[in-house]
Amino acid sequence: MYLISDQQIDFILDDLEAGGIGTESLRYDLLDHICVIIEQNLEEGEDFEQFYRSAVRTFYREQLREIEQETALLLTLKNRLVLSRNRFFFLLFTLIGGPFIAYTVTGMISPSPTAGWNIPFHVWAPSFVYSIFPILILLVLYLTPDRLDPVIPWKSKVVIGFRPFIQVVSFP
């Protein structure tokens, strides 16, 4: 079992702060986790800094500051609905297109003489237009690639709450 020195603890704390971890309590929690990993897995004679760098890389995707951003997000999003981008658009597709599709389906299976394909054009045309146009707009918003700066970026979450009602939270 490896024993970490005070200088190494100071090195870890300084590196966490330089990496973008500004919240003191989070920095000490990460220090605790990192020290446990190092003490359990580092063998005597191995390079401390190299092992530390490889252990810390497992905590984030691209940058260390992601940990603080996600922690702040989780602390501020109590009692709110957090949806992925795909689930948010599925919810919108269902809310906008669902009633029109249900109206059309019930009209087709209704036993009345004007049911099914015999429904007059003045019923079919508005139903078709009012259901297709909003869905096409949502489809364009959904399929906009990241390089064209979409309204809701691909790696983002949508938060539904009270103030603001809908908030887009992007992750780098």
Domain boundaries, the chain: 6-76, 83-170
Q: Is the pTM of this model over 0.85?
A: no
Chain centre to alpha carbon of residue 120: 45
Residue (of 33, 30, 35) closest to 3 by Cα position: 35
Q: What 3-state DSSP class applies to 60?
A: coil
CB atoms within 10 A of CB 67: 21
* pLDDT the model gives residue 114: 58
pLDDT < 50: residue spans in the chain: none
* Pair 40, 1: CB distance under 8 Å: yes
C-alpha to C-alpha distances, 64 to 7, 26, 52, nearest whole angstrom: 21, 12, 13
Kindly report, residue by residue over 53-102, the tens digit of the pLDDT.
988 888 888 888 888 888 877 777 677 888 999 999 999 988 887 877 77
Q: Tokens standing for 131?
A: 């259901």
Q: What 3-state DSSP class applies to 138?
A: helix
User: If you average pLDDT over every residue of the chain, what do you get?
Assistant: 83
The amino acid present at 140, given as its one-letter code, is: V
Whole-angstrom Cα distance, residue 34 to residue 64?
Answer: 13
Q: How many residues does the chain have?
A: 172
Helix axes 6-18, 48-56, angle to 10 degrees: 40
* pLDDT the model gives residue 144: 92
* Pair 140, 134: CB distance under 8 Å: no
